[in-house]
Structure 1
Amino acid sequence: MIVGIDLGTTNSLVAVWRDGAPQLVANALGSFLTPSVVGLDDDGQVLVGQVARERLQTHPQLTTALFKRYMGSAHEVRLGKRSFRPEELSALVLKSLKADVERAFGEPVSEAVISVPAYFSDAQRKATRVAGELAGLKVDKLINEPTAAALAYGVHQKEQTTFLVFDLGGGTFDVSILERFDGVMEVRASSGDNFLGGEDLDDALVKSFVERQAGNLPDASQPLLRQRLRREAQRVRHALGQQDSATFSLRDNGREWCEAYTQEQLRQILEPLLERLRGPIERALRDARIRVADLDEILLVGGTTRMPLVRKLVAGLFGRFPSMHLNPDEVIAQGAAIQAALKARDAALEEVVLTDVCPYSMGIETTQQHGEHFEGGRYLPIIERNCVVPVSRVEQVQTLHDNQREVLLKIFQGESRLVKDNIFLGELSVPVPPRKAGEVVLDVRFTYDNNGLLEADVKIPMTGESHRLVIENNPGVLSREEVAAKLKALEGLKVHPREQQVNTVLLARLDRLYQECLGEMREYVDRLAGEFQRVLEGQDERQIREHRSAVIQRLDELERGF
């Protein structure tokens, strides 16, 4: 049996395809929602779901949640005498869902389609596959959450439509633009924030409550008290979705602290977080080259979209009411079950071809020469974000020095123009014939497939030799030695004109625009940033001031044209 699973930050669900429709499977408590919480009891036995969630307040040292946020990293959580990686904790949740299905239908579950946020990196996707394998599941297919939601909404049954999926869950925010035509569902663009969700809204409310009490509370950093505060914040946030006011109440050792909140006060507290939703939406629209008026439908997904504040924001952004006729908590699991049925070629389903995009740009480190000056650490994107996969792209580079005998190709993932701000994926050493600088040309081809594998193929036309590297490791994990080295490097920094706030703000703006733009516009921003950094190196205050004004004027013109 193949099942569809929504492995969520806050809650997880499982569904199967039965009698021509997706069917959610209840857990042992009769609920479709299984909290993504894992703990140990006093005897060291594993607890998963609601029972573990209840013990978050009473046994915080033996219970953990929100581990999905650390997927693809080396982060470990200690429960009692044992340490767990995020993949292991997720595997325990998956194993519990698998047991629920086997109990309900009396047959073994061997395979699963698991949903992931569209903005998950390669490392996070690989970690999700590993979690499935640890749970005893074959995971040939991951499906992006917005794509799963589109399948569940029935958009796949329409002839032709363009729609946006707004997916705000407990821990992540995704926005995807999809187009359906001729039996194909194509993802045009995806964007998001892997650290923005309902849990962050609760944290903001907790912070407000603690600040209002102005030191009257016991130490709020204590794990036990922290969990109680977060749970009360969630209750208050949900209550304010139904009524005009609610009281935040904390009891401890016979004492009680209370604060009343109105819907307007909640809006003010959450406004900075809600404003962060705009950026990914605007980026996805730009990358897809689609105007808001061209969208046929806006789909809401994720439990946090139940909040009136969020729905009001979405309606204001798009000038229309979004579709919300399906349960936002359940829609992703239903879509994953539909994808499982498509994979099993169920006769009741019309075949739909799903295309996807790579959520991040991938490229190499280069050094550029400007007169007598060399500027290293520059990022050359080869596959840019939101290219439809599978995709293959090639770029040419050349040797930098006379009689150079080797080119070390360092591969990165990300959107920043300097490689130090991107994620290192791997490296490939390529021997080259010794010639004058620039005479030896290398064709660097990147090929990226639906399984998240990146193949780097380097060919030297002069000799006909080829060198190949397949990136399969989990990137982005710093060792303790690397962390210590970075801290030591920071201590050695001296004040330089480029550290002045007026210059750092402009550099940050250049980096932001570089990440938001593509193609020729991205190259233009890159040139402006490179020129400004070279002026900073000269440390001539008058020249820096004049050049800064010119760059700001050009960026203002560029942004007005968006």
Structure 2
Amino acid sequence: MIIGIDLGTTNSLVAVWNADTAQLIPNALGKLLTPSVVGLDDNGELIVGDVARERLQTHPQATTALFKRHMGSARETLVGERAYRPEELSALLLRSLKEDAERYLGEPVTEAVISVPAYFSDAQRKATRVAGQLAGLKVEKLINEPTAAALAYGLHHKEEATFLVFDLGGGTFDVSVLELFEGVMEVRASAGDNFLGGEDFDDLLVAHVRAAAHAQPLPTATEGALVQRLRREAQRVRHALGQQPHTTFTVRDGGHEWSLAITQDDLARLYQPLLDRLRAPIERALRDARIKAADLDEVLLVGGTSRMPLVRRLVASLFGRFPAMQLNPDEVVAQGAAIQAALKARHASLEEVVLTDVSPYTLGIETTSSEGQRRIDGLYLPIIERNSVVPVSREQTVYPLDEAQTVVRVRIFQGESRLVSNNIFLGELEVPVPPKKRGEVSVQVRFTYDINGLLEAQVHIPLTGERRTLVIENNPGVLSPEEVAERLQALAALKVHPRDQQVNSLLMARLERLYQESLGDTREHVADLAKQFQYVLERQDERALREARVRLVEQLEYLERRL
């Protein structure tokens, strides 16, 4: 069985093609959205999703989030007593989604199509594949999130169309221009920002609140707990101001309350720098695609943060039209990934559509310029430019700089800067050349980039017939096959919190958070609720437990409204 997965910065989803439609799969708590949060419970067992998110505030040292932003790097995060790489944390999340799908479908799941931001680099894409492998999945394809959204909207059923996908999620921003012609959906151009999303809007609001708190200090709490409490309230305020003209940012700690009135106009001024950052990738994608905004047939809004009225107004003003918003922006990418999974499985109910992709970054080599006695080293010579349709092969001819030079070193980079020092080094080749006068020996450098993100660099010396080839498979920061095997063994040894106990664990985590947030009579009441619920848990009477859960949820919602 093959599934489609939207591996998100803030939330993740899984879907499957079933009965001629993309069907979203609920998790163990019956929810479609699984928070992209991983942690350990008090017994050292792995927890993922809502339960882990509840413990971000109460157990910050044993819980982590936003790890997708560091995919493709060697950064490690300490969770409990063990350090985890981004691929491992993503793998634990993917494994949970895989198990949700297996429970729902009643059969093993072995393959997946996983969505990635269109602007993800080669290293980030390879790291995502490794995460799938660590989760026990064969990753059949990585599909760009905007392409997945276009599939979900059914644009592949049209004969001809040119459209732009504006994808603003929790952690990343993507914009892609796509063209459909004779059954081929081609990505014309992609641009974006891997560090711009809803989390950044919340961070800006938290910083604003902290700056305003100099005159009246915020409630006393540990830094980790206070940060999570502020972020939780920032998210609530951002959502509330999408529906009403004003609200109050409130932080309570027992009897101490701190509040700040915030209006939609305040939010517009505060968020203006981030809104301005959305413009540049849009303009760049349109420019690279050589298309005007007026020539687009449709603009699609994707990603939960695109729900913000400020964002929708910005898009409408930039394109002179209202964007398409018929589908749930949180769910559309997972639905498209499921459609792509069905296409890979050659499902009979789907018409075949050919999807083409582009290289998100320029690939090139280091060169040196010489004018008389003056030399400038470290210059970048692009060979495959960004937004070239893949698979692609391009060649450039260069020449040894010095007289009687015997070796040419070809250093390979990825990036857009004029100087290689600002780009990402991928690898190098050394090739012997005959010692001749300048200009007599040519060096042909050919790059071939395929749909799986593999770059082959070939250097050919026509004068001698010498050829050297290098395949760039492992970028800096990406695990080697030996390291993958080692991490796989370590993850297999982790104890996983029982799935059938997640609903009870979530309630206990909420009680723990409320206990820490409250004081006095309220704190005593929360402690009593926790003791009563613990007593029912120990009785192991499922009927009594169901009834207790219903009563407890009602009381928790009442208390959370007051806090």
TM-score by length of 1: 0.84
The letter for the 2-side match of 1:248 is F
Aligned to 1:146: 146
Structure 2 SS opposite 1:276: helix
Q: Deviations over 1:281-300 (max 9, x none)?
A: 00000000000111000000
- SS state of the match for residue 61, structure 1? helix
Which aligned pairs between 1:159-178 and structure 2 lie closer than 5 A?
Answer: 159-178=159-178
Aligned to 1:207: 207
Q: Distance in 1 between matches of 2:449 and 2:220?
A: 49
Distance 1:277 1:15 in 2: 29
Q: 2: CA distance between counterparts of 1:458 and 1:218?
A: 64
- State how 1:527-546 maps to structure 2 within 5 Å: none
Total equivalences in the alignment = 477
Measured against aligned partners, the alpha-carbon deviations of 1:108-162 in whole angstroms (never above 9, x if no partner) come to: 0000000000000000000000000000000121000000000000100001000
- Give the Cα–Cα distance (whole angstroms) in 1 for the partners of residues 426 and 321 of structure 2: 42
SS at match of 1:354: strand
- Displacement of 1:219 in angstroms is 7.7
Distance in 1 between the 2:342 and 2:220 partners?
51
CA offset digits 1:243-299 (Å, max 9, x no partner) = 111111112353111001000101111010011000000000000000011100000
**Following TM superposition, by how much is the alpha carbon of 1:440 offset from its aligned partner in structure 2, in angstroms?**
1.3
Could you tell me which amino acid in structure 1 is paired with residue 404 of structure 2?
Answer: N
Give the C-alpha shift of residue 474 in structure 1.
2.0
Match runs of 1:216-365 below 5 Å = 216-217=217-218, 222-252=223-253, 254-365=255-366
1:405 deviates by 1.0
Name the CA distance, whole Å, in 1 between partners of 2:178 and 2:222: 43
Which residue number corresponds to residue 556 of structure 1?
A: none
Q: Distance in 1 between matches of 2:222 and 2:445?
A: 50
The residue matched to 2:166 in structure 1 has which SS? strand
The alignment partner of 2:112 has SS state of strand
Instruction: Tell me if structure 2 keeps the 8 A contact 1:34–1:50.
Output: yes
Distance in 2 (CA, whole Å) between partners of 1:148 and 1:24 is 14
* Structure 2 equivalent of residue 379 of structure 1: 380
Question: Residue 110 of structure 1 aligns with which residue?
Answer: 110
Query: C-alpha separation between the residues in 1 aligned to 2:222 and 2:423?
Result: 32
- Tell me if the contact between 2:233 and 2:250 (Cα under 8 Å) persists in the aligned partners: yes
In structure 1, the partner of 2:97 is 97
**Structure 2 runs not aligned, ≥5 long:** 479-563
Aligned-partner residue type, residue 446 of structure 1: F
For 1:476 and 1:114, the matched residues in 2 are separated by 20
Find the counterpart in structure 2 of residue 185 from structure 1: 185
State the distance in 2 between where 1:218 and 1:367 align.
59
C-alpha distance after superposition, 1:278-335 (max 9, x if no partner): 0000000000000011100000000001111110110000000000000000000000
Change in CA separation of 1:395 and 1:219 when aligned onto 2, cut-off 3 Å: farther
Amino acid at match of 2:37: V
- SS of the aligned residue for 2:361 comes to coil
SS of the residue 1:403 aligns to: coil
Residue identity matched to 1:169: G
Indicate the SS of the match to 1:277. helix
Whether contact under 8 Å (2:171, 2:194) holds in the other structure is: yes
Residue 153 of structure 2 corresponds to residue 136 of structure 1 = no
- String of CA shifts for 1:354-383, please: whole Å, max 9, x gaps: 000000000000001122211000000000
CA distance in 1, matches of 2:303, 2:142: 18
Whether the 8 Å contact between 1:27 and 1:100 is mirrored in structure 2 is yes
Deviates more, 1:110-119 or 1:437-446: 437-446
Q: Which amino acid in the other structure matches residue 22 of structure 2?
A: P
Identify which of structures 1 and 2 has the higher relative contact order when contacts are C-alpha pairs closer than 8 Å and 6+ apart.
2
Tell me which amino acid in the other structure corresponds to 1:340: A
In the alignment, structure 1 residue 25 sits paired with structure 2 residue 25: yes
The answer to whether the 8 A contact 1:425-1:476 is kept is: no
Amino acid at match of 1:290: I
Contact preservation (8 Å) 1:423, 1:476: no
Which residue does 1:436 correspond to in 2? 437
- Code of the residue aligned with 1:195 in structure 2: it is F
Structure 1 alignment gaps of length 5 or more: 478-562
CA distance in 2, matches of 1:195, 1:241: 23
Alpha-carbon contact 1:398-1:438 (below 8 Å) kept: yes
- Amino acid corresponding to residue 201 of structure 1 in structure 2: F
Q: Is the 8 A contact 2:220 2:253 kept in 1?
A: no
Distance in 2 separating the partners of 1:287 and 1:179: 13
Closer, same or farther: CA 376–112 of 1 in aligned 2, 3 Å: same
SS at match of 1:170: coil
**2:475, 2:71 → 1: CA distance?**
10
How far is the alpha carbon of 1:214 from its aligned partner? Answer: 1.4
State how far apart, in whole Å, the 2-side matches of 1:476 and 1:313 are. Answer: 36
Tell me the CA shift for residue 347 of structure 1: 0.7
Aligned equivalents of 1:106, 1:436: Cα separation in 2: 71
Is the 2:219–2:257 Cα contact (8 Å) retained in structure 1? no
Counterpart position of 2:86: 86
Deviations 1:16-55 (A, max 9, x none): 0001110000011111100000000111110000000000
Structure 1 contact 117–172 (Cα < 8 Å) conserved: yes
String of CA shifts for 1:454-488, please: whole Å, max 9, x gaps. Answer: 000010010111100000112368xxxxxxxxxxx
Return the letter of the residue paired with 2:245.
D
| 1:456 paired residue number | 457
For the 8 Å contact 2:6–2:333, the answer to whether it is kept is yes
- Alpha-carbon distance in 2 for matches of 1:425, 1:358: 15
Contact 2:456 2:471 in 1 (8 A): yes
Distance 1:230 1:408 in 2: 50
3-state SS of the aligned residue for 2:369?
strand
Q: Percent same amino acid among aligned pairs?
A: 73
Alpha-carbon distance change, 230 to 100 in structure 1, aligned in 2, over 3 angstroms: same
Q: Secondary structure at the match of 1:250?
A: strand
Matches of 1:218 and 1:387, distance apart in 2: 53
Partner of 2:469: 468
Evaluate the alpha carbon distance shift between residue 171 and residue 221 of structure 1 in structure 2; reply closer, same or farther with a 3 A threshold: farther
SS in 1 for 2:98: helix
**Distance between the aligned counterparts of 2:466 and 2:431, measured in 1?**
10
CA contact (8 A) 1:401 1:438 kept: no
Whether contact under 8 Å (2:74, 2:477) holds in the other structure is no
Q: Secondary structure at the match of 2:417?
A: coil
Whichever residue aligns with residue 159 of structure 1, its letter is: E
